[in-house]
Amino acid sequence: MRSLLLTILLFPLAASAADRARDLGIPFDGTPGRLNAITDVPGVTVGHSTIIADYPNGSAARSGVTAILPRGEDSLFLPVFGGSAVLNGAGEMTGTIWLEASGFLEGPVMITTTQSVGMVFEETIKWRVNKAERDVTGYAWSDPVVAETWGGRLNDENGFYVHGEHVAEALESAKGGPVEEGNVGGGTGMVCYQFKCGIGTASRVIETADGEFTVGALVQANYGWRDILRIGGAPVGQEMPVQQAADVRTPMDDEMGSIIVVIATDAPLLPHQLKRVATRAGLGIARVGGMASNGSGDIFVAFSTANARELRAGTNLTAGFLGNENISPVFTGAVLATEEAIVNALIAAKTMTGFNGNTVEAIDHEQLQNVLRKYNRLDEE
Amino acid sequence: MRSLLLTILLFPLAASAADRARDLGIPFDGTPGRLNAITDVPGVTVGHSTIIADYPNGSAARSGVTAILPRGEDSLFLPVFGGSAVLNGAGEMTGTIWLEASGFLEGPVMITTTQSVGMVFEETIKWRVNKAERDVTGYAWSDPVVAETWGGRLNDENGFYVHGEHVAEALESAKGGPVEEGNVGGGTGMVCYQFKCGIGTASRVIETADGEFTVGALVQANYGWRDILRIGGAPVGQEMPVQQAADVRTPMDDEMGSIIVVIATDAPLLPHQLKRVATRAGLGIARVGGMASNGSGDIFVAFSTANARELRAGTNLTAGFLGNENISPVFTGAVLATEEAIVNALIAAKTMTGFNGNTVEAIDHEQLQNVLRKYNRLDEE
Amino acid sequence: MRSLLLTILLFPLAASAADRARDLGIPFDGTPGRLNAITDVPGVTVGHSTIIADYPNGSAARSGVTAILPRGEDSLFLPVFGGSAVLNGAGEMTGTIWLEASGFLEGPVMITTTQSVGMVFEETIKWRVNKAERDVTGYAWSDPVVAETWGGRLNDENGFYVHGEHVAEALESAKGGPVEEGNVGGGTGMVCYQFKCGIGTASRVIETADGEFTVGALVQANYGWRDILRIGGAPVGQEMPVQQAADVRTPMDDEMGSIIVVIATDAPLLPHQLKRVATRAGLGIARVGGMASNGSGDIFVAFSTANARELRAGTNLTAGFLGNENISPVFTGAVLATEEAIVNALIAAKTMTGFNGNTVEAIDHEQLQNVLRKYNRLDEE
Amino acid sequence: MRSLLLTILLFPLAASAADRARDLGIPFDGTPGRLNAITDVPGVTVGHSTIIADYPNGSAARSGVTAILPRGEDSLFLPVFGGSAVLNGAGEMTGTIWLEASGFLEGPVMITTTQSVGMVFEETIKWRVNKAERDVTGYAWSDPVVAETWGGRLNDENGFYVHGEHVAEALESAKGGPVEEGNVGGGTGMVCYQFKCGIGTASRVIETADGEFTVGALVQANYGWRDILRIGGAPVGQEMPVQQAADVRTPMDDEMGSIIVVIATDAPLLPHQLKRVATRAGLGIARVGGMASNGSGDIFVAFSTANARELRAGTNLTAGFLGNENISPVFTGAVLATEEAIVNALIAAKTMTGFNGNTVEAIDHEQLQNVLRKYNRLDEE
């Protein structure tokens, strides 16, 4: 099928700086970091590889890979403490069995489309092997964290269009600074609340008894049906009903949805504390109306970039950590950053036509503002 | 200390029929059952024992016990399939290790105040032993489900005022029909969002491919600080700030909060499915703004009253169940019923003065309506 | 019923120093600590309260309480990192929801008989409240760890013979040094492999890259049927079959069995690592032939006494810990100490007659030695 | 690297019928099924693809794939109830998040070598897609169960020698009847207790109140160091010490070990019951001396082939199940079948030389018999 390739468009349809929820006057609680992105947590880098192509046989790729590196280039050699959580388990995040046992997240978090988990798993290992000086004993053991959401409305999932070059591109292009949102990377073909969706990010600066820290979230959002959507507490989904139900929603749509949430913080936390942080992503989803329906893979991972020196293998290790009584601001930050990241994904995404000629409309910003205004929930200066 | 007892008030300060959230015009999604209560699930009964007393030494009881019997009087002899879930584990629900292993909820769910878990555990067993014809081999094994939230703002937790008579009263008085809400039973001294709170209940009628079922929730709500409260999506907490912070909140208040959620349904579900249902209570809490802070015991149990004949001990057992692809309406019903049950607890509770002269004000209904009106979220006909 | 009390025998039937498995030549792997007891871990103290009484109405008490204090008298004020695990969940260990969430074991581990969990829970809190200088705000929150095994063959479980005085006795008498085994404390009426059983303990000294540490185990053993018993790998149960099956075993016996295992170490470990350590108790049980049958509550808790200074509440906390790659010796120590603790419980226990005139015979030491000799598994110098 | 291929040997080094543990007189408890294999459970099929090749650059393949199909060819269209468990999580088994949530095992269980999990994941989906009539909506969602153990002592893990053809071969060749053991399929390069190891299987026929059922186990065994090996309870490892430690063991060896256990039964069990069954594999490992060390991925999956008609998607579903009080024989069968499957893997494996010229010796059968004879544990007629 690949030999029949007619056109390949390999560029990001990234959101412009203006396309963020806050810029539209959508209200959120808490104080965002400078970029309002997961990269506000120092050291975290994000890269995307976006695959958009149409084939003469009718197949279409609207897919990609997103890579989050907890310590940027050092991630391969210096782990972070991490934890994971599942709200609804209709999905895959590899590597979590070892993450839970060890407490360590070793390497990047990769997010892609459902049928490409295997390829991304394989190619992430190969990328890692190539990065390392070849070990003379032939030793290597790798169990990368690879997660997915199902893009089959716009992407031909059985085209298996993600390859090693895309994995490498996502990993090699990872950087700090502003993060592209919407139709990029693993989020390219994603849909939430029956609007076009994809990648979103946000952050919160929190105050604790141990000082100020940052909590960032990045989501690949692909879940939910229209009616349940809430933004800023307003019943946006009910006010912006689906116009052409038959065209935009199939019976399987809400069942195939999923959301992957990655939470990063520089607050020093132990693995069992990070598991608690990961769990909070579900509360952020609920604030946007999410119901974690049967077919949704709502799977979360959280990590802390603190303790960089302390986590090198060796003896007499020590780790700093927040006392439990000081941890609640991290939880609140994770909830609020997840909520805003989802809305950012919705706002940044652009209308897309893909597989089988299916079109999924982006949410109309002006119409959304009107709804929020109706409910006195639009921040207008 | 009990011998110094000056006055004992042992009557329920129950909510009147008018004191429910819907009656005030608060908007909710979904269709409630006839009573909008957990007792809409046929067979479920609820009983309260409310303890309100003041002592000359300054100690005060604002405590009690609430009992939920999945199959009413048959609960001792006929189990239900059940499952439990923890959102934040700063609390106790005994009996869950066996519930998770066996898939069976055997007997009632009891809810009380923190320091009385042991007494309620002991006395629930004794009640059960007394109910049974004495077994000649001396056999008995019982591991009751007893949960708690911390009532120490209004109740002298170290007074240990719950006794066998209260456990028996809650169990013996359990009945179907309308459920008392607010300052009753285990919820007598509870506080949420720095308003007086307590017991609340609600239900949803759901449509599935297998037909119509009911999902009911009962909560003992005692968590959250003012700022985060949302009702109907409106930022109620921010609009109704705490007036006398020093008097209504101590540094430990939000840390000691908790919420126990009991979800009942007549939809036929297997234990692993009920565990998923229990998890959804957390989404309901999030819809009211809950953050599951470090000190909150957010612990949930769900059960199905279906399969009554099938769950008697024996051979060749069979159980009916919903296919996973038909289960999402149960999830949604659980989320929405939990949300409304919490708001019902807030609305039904009355201002209370208790231990150390502490007073916790009930939420002002008219002021709340004004806030909802401001956000165009008040249902007014 | 208590008023009909005829005789109360309240003394420990403790094992003599000679009554330990090693002294009989039973082979074990690994190197024990000085006392071959959980108290080899510095700071750990153990106390028992043993209840043996017969009543004219035919009721009989063969019950008690065992208390393990991770830091001795400091346990109330200085927590330890801890974790728990369940092999088969037909039993109760309260406090584990908070233990799992917080990573902290706060206070003692209490073990008793099934129907007395509630009383021990209540009285442990009261003991704690009495120990603390009364807090002027009335604050107290306690969720003690209380576990149980079912003693109903020899103890009238529905007599509820454990009271506050016994809880206090176990806690107040806790000390370091040699630990009484067999028919003492919570283990008084217990039976394993259809032999009299009860409390047992053992320890291992382990070498790691971080230096030498001690791992200790204490068990309350009450599980298994004769046929599956293995000691030193030899099929002891098959060689020492039950003589009077009708008299020693009822259909419920193997179903009602349970084993609680408490593992202590001074190796510095984080909570998620201690959860892994707790899991290893199951491997120790399997080495004695245990099958974790449906009715068995095989529930384990592990804690580390390291990081004493570091775990005081506050800011800028740090904790030492073993790198995962250095942790396996702790696992092995936990497995081997659990195995030997179980055999020590069997060896120390004495034949007992109790409720309904039931007698459970202790394992015959000489006969056991003969079986081990047959399989060339007796250490004879 | 593949272009440098000099010789490819692609044939199974299968165990002959004589090479099974029982045939050597090794004693086991319980009653095996007719073949003493997982395929004694009606409908279960097993296929292997074995990859053995040497390359001029020094790289070497000693790898492969093993496929277990719960319902043979029907597995793609008719799920089974299933559950999974982790004893030590240093490994990967994909698909378990959905298995735990749904209770369904959909499709085959695949086992391979560590670095090939991604490829097997991808190719299992492709095989499935090719099997299905192409869905016109482009729909497909697949999350296969793929597990691994690390074969790097004999296999160049970074050669990535498993490809689609091997996945297809394992799946297409799956059949009932006798199962090849030892150096085959995913087990080709595996090592346990520092002896050559690999695939093994066994079964037990169990009696329950609901009638007779079969429990089968298949293992890919690759864990443990010599000293801890026990067979028939005898300290075999201590009696057969490693001769050339430097050559057979590297510091990483015991850390990289793992064991995957697949348990099948025709006993009707619900998902939460199958999770309990899966847990029992750990007790079987302990009977052979396993310690679940830090680097070992001891991951288990259990399924029931009962309820074939009942598990088709639809409405008014029902499922038969054993009452919990009748389930213990299934547990015991799972423990004993796992134990024997491991020993069968050890006995069937042949000495192998592989990557870097490393040789791992098979266990000497005669020497083993001598050890068992010394401990009076050899069945000789």
Q: What is the pLDDT of residue B312?
A: 75
Sign of CA dihedral B347, B349, B355, B358: positive
Q: What is the pLDDT of residue D40?
A: 98
Please say if the pLDDT value at position C257 is more than 90: no
pLDDT tens column, A173-187: 999 999 999 999 999
Q: What is the pLDDT of residue D244?
A: 63
**Cα distances (Å, whole numbers) of residue A315 to A103, A311, B118:** 17, 10, 43
Domain presence at residue A175: yes
> How far does the CA of residue A273 sit from the closest CA of chain B (Å)?
10
Structure-block tokens of residue D181: 């053991």
Q: How far apart are CA C167 and CA A303, in angstroms?
A: 42
Q: Model confidence at D311, in pLDDT bands (50, 70, 90)?
A: confident
Chain B residue with minimal CA distance to C87? B101
Catalytic one of B258, B293, B304, B328: B258
* Averaged pLDDT for residues D234-243: 95
- Judging contacts by C-beta atoms under 8 Å, the chain B residues touching residue A285 are 283
Q: What is the pLDDT of residue C76?
A: 82
Chain B residue with minimal CA distance to A284? B286
Domain presence at residue D18: no
Q: Between chains, do A272 and C100 touch, taking CB under 8 Å as contact?
A: yes
Torsion, Cα of C321, C324, C330, C336 (10° steps): 160
In the annotation, is C258 catalytic? yes
Contact B324/A at CB under 8 A: yes
Mean pLDDT comparison of B109-113, B136-140, B150-154, highest-scoring range: B109-113
Structure-block tokens of residue D104: 């369904």
Please say if the pLDDT value at position B6 is more than 50: no
* Averaged pLDDT for residues A26-52: 98
Q: What is the pLDDT of residue D309?
A: 81
Q: What is the pLDDT of residue C185?
A: 98
Residues 86-105 (C) with a CB less than 8 A from some CB of A: 100-104
Q: Do the beta carbons of residue C223 and residue C290 sit within 8 Å? A: yes
Residues 41-70 (D) with a CB less than 8 A from some CB of B: none
What average pLDDT is seen over chain B? 91
> How far does the CA of residue B98 sit from the closest CA of chain D (Å)?
11
Catalytic one of C298, C304, C364, C379: C298
Q: What single letter denotes the amino acid at residue D40?
A: D
Determine the residue among C310, C315, C325 to mutate to test chain A binding: the one whose Cβ has the most chain A Cβ atoms within 10 Å.
C315
What average pLDDT is seen over chain A? 91
pLDDT tens column, A61-92: 999 999 999 999 899 889 999 999 999 999 99
Q: Do the beta carbons of residue C190 and residue C198 sit within 8 Å? A: yes
In this complex, the chains that touch A, judged by 3 or more CB pairs closer than 8 A, are B, C, D
- Judging contacts by C-beta atoms under 8 Å, the chain B residues touching residue D326 are 315
Contact B273/D at CB under 8 A: yes
Chain C residue with minimal CA distance to D329? C293
Please give the tally of structural domains in chain D. Answer: 1
Q: Model confidence at D252, in pLDDT bands (50, 70, 90)?
A: very low
Q: How far apart are CA A279 and CA A285, in angstroms?
A: 11
Between C329 and B17, where is the model more confident?
C329
pLDDT tens column, D192-204: 999 999 999 999 9
Q: What is the pLDDT of residue A314?
A: 84
Q: Which of B123, B143, B156 sits opposite C92 (nearest CB)?
A: B143
Q: Between chains, do D94 and A98 touch, taking CB under 8 Å as contact?
A: no
* Averaged pLDDT for residues D205-232: 97
Q: Between chains, do B282 and A287 touch, taking CB under 8 Å as contact?
A: no
User: The whole model's pTM is what?
Assistant: 0.95
Kindly give the residue spans of alpha helices, DSSP state H, lying in D146-294: 164-172, 236-239, 245-248, 253-256, 271-279, 281-287
Please say if the pLDDT value at position C140 is more than 80: no
Q: How far apart are CA A271 and CA A284, in angstroms?
A: 21
Domain presence at residue B364: no
Q: Do the beta carbons of residue D119 and residue D67 sit within 8 Å? A: no
- What is the residue whose two structure tokens read 């709500």? B221
Q: What is the pLDDT of residue D133?
A: 61
pLDDT tens column, B213-272: 999 999 999 999 999 999 999 999 999 999 765 444 444 455 668 999 999 999 999 999
Please say if the pLDDT value at position A3 is more than 50: no
Contact B142/C at CB under 8 A: yes
Domain presence at residue C167: yes
Residue D254 C-beta-side C-alpha neighbours within 13 Å? 20
Tell me how many residue pairs between chain A and chain B have CB atoms under 8 A apart.
Answer: 97
Structure-block tokens of residue D331: 């547990």
Determine the residue among B26, B238, B283, B371 to mutate to test chain A binding: the one whose Cβ has the most chain A Cβ atoms within 10 Å.
B283
Q: Model confidence at A288, in pLDDT bands (50, 70, 90)?
A: very high
Q: What is the pLDDT of residue C19?
A: 82
Determine the residue among C97, C310, C317 to mutate to test chain A binding: the one whose Cβ has the most chain A Cβ atoms within 10 Å.
C317
Residues 180-209 (B) with a CB less than 8 A from some CB of D: 209
Catalytic one of D63, D203, D258, D304: D258
Q: What is the pLDDT of residue B161?
A: 96
Q: Over the range D240-278, which residues count as b (16 or more CB within 10 Å of their CB) and which as e? A: bebeeeeebbbebbbbbbbbbbbbbbbbbbbbbbbbbbb
What average pLDDT is seen over chain D? 91
H/E element holding B320? Answer: strand B317-321
Q: Do the beta carbons of residue C303 and residue C268 sit within 8 Å? A: no
Please say if the pLDDT value at position C146 is more than 90: yes
Q: What is the pLDDT of residue D251?
A: 40
Domain of residue A215, residue span: 2-13+38-241+251-352
- Judging contacts by C-beta atoms under 8 Å, the chain B residues touching residue A261 are none
Maximum separation of any 2 CA atoms in chain D, in Å: 67
> How far does the CA of residue A355 sit from the closest CA of chain D (Å)?
8
Q: Model confidence at C12, in pLDDT bands (50, 70, 90)?
A: very low
Structure-block tokens of residue C35: 């006392």
- What is the residue whose two structure tokens read 């990063």? A264
* Averaged pLDDT for residues C4-9: 42
Catalytic one of D296, D304, D364, D379: D296
Three-state SS at C15: coil
Q: What is the pLDDT of residue B14?
A: 43
Q: Do the beta carbons of residue C369 and residue C231 sit within 8 Å? A: no
- Judging contacts by C-beta atoms under 8 Å, the chain A residues touching residue C317 are 320-323
pLDDT tens column, D90-148: 999 999 999 999 999 999 999 999 999 999 999 999 998 888 664 433 346 789 999 99
Q: What is the pLDDT of residue A12?
A: 43
Q: How far apart are CA A185 and CA A195, in angstroms?
A: 18
Q: How far apart are CA C93 and CA A356, in angstroms?
A: 56
Please say if the pLDDT value at position D290 is more than 90: yes
Contact C295/D at CB under 8 A: yes
Please say if the pLDDT value at position D4 is more than 70: no
| Percent of chain C at pLDDT exceeding 90 | 82
Q: What is the pLDDT of residue C380?
A: 87
D68 - beta bridge partners? D46, D109
Between B343 and D18, where is the model more confident?
B343
Q: Between chains, do A331 and B292 touch, taking CB under 8 Å as contact?
A: yes
Q: How far apart are CA D277 and CA D281, in angstroms?
A: 8
**Cα distances (Å, whole numbers) of residue D312 to B325, D76, D140:** 11, 12, 18
Please say if the pLDDT value at position B31 is more than 90: yes
Global ipTM:
0.94
Between D299 and C245, where is the model more confident?
D299
CATH of the domain at D115: 3.60.70.12
Contact D84/A at CB under 8 A: no
Q: Between chains, do C331 and D291 touch, taking CB under 8 Å as contact?
A: yes
Contact B353/D at CB under 8 A: no
Contact B279/A at CB under 8 A: yes
Q: What is the pLDDT of residue D5?
A: 42
Contact C115/B at CB under 8 A: yes
Contact C164/D at CB under 8 A: no
CA gyration radius, chain A:
20
Distance of CA D24 to the CA centre of its chain: 22
Three-state SS at C29: coil
In the annotation, is D296 catalytic? yes
* Averaged pLDDT for residues D284-292: 97
H/E element holding B360? Answer: strand B359-360
Q: Which of B104, B317, B321 sits opposite D317 (nearest CB)?
A: B321
Q: What single letter denotes the amino acid at residue B86?
A: V
Q: Between chains, do D375 and C374 touch, taking CB under 8 Å as contact?
A: no
Q: What is the pLDDT of residue A18?
A: 55
Domain presence at residue C331: yes
Q: What is the pLDDT of residue A311?
A: 78
Determine the residue among B141, B149, B256, B296 to mutate to test chain C binding: the one whose Cβ has the most chain C Cβ atoms within 10 Å.
B141
Q: What is the pLDDT of residue A255?
A: 60
B228 closest CA partner among B287, B181, B172, B147: B287
Q: What is the pLDDT of residue D143?
A: 92
Q: Between chains, do A97 and D142 touch, taking CB under 8 Å as contact?
A: no
Q: Between chains, do B152 and C160 touch, taking CB under 8 Å as contact?
A: no
Q: Which of B270, B276, B314 sits opposite D101 (nearest CB)?
A: B276
Q: What is the pLDDT of residue C314?
A: 84
* Averaged pLDDT for residues C90-118: 96
Q: Which of D235, D287, D291 sits opposite C332 (nearest CB)?
A: D291
D190 closest CA partner among D229, D157, D164, D158: D157
| Percent of chain A at pLDDT exceeding 90 | 82
Pairing of strands D45-54, D7-9: antiparallel
D341 closest CA partner among D292, D278, D281, D289: D281
Chain A residue with minimal CA distance to D355? A138
- Judging contacts by C-beta atoms under 8 Å, the chain B residues touching residue A376 are 374-376
pLDDT tens column, A98-137: 999 999 999 999 999 999 999 999 999 999 888 866 443 3
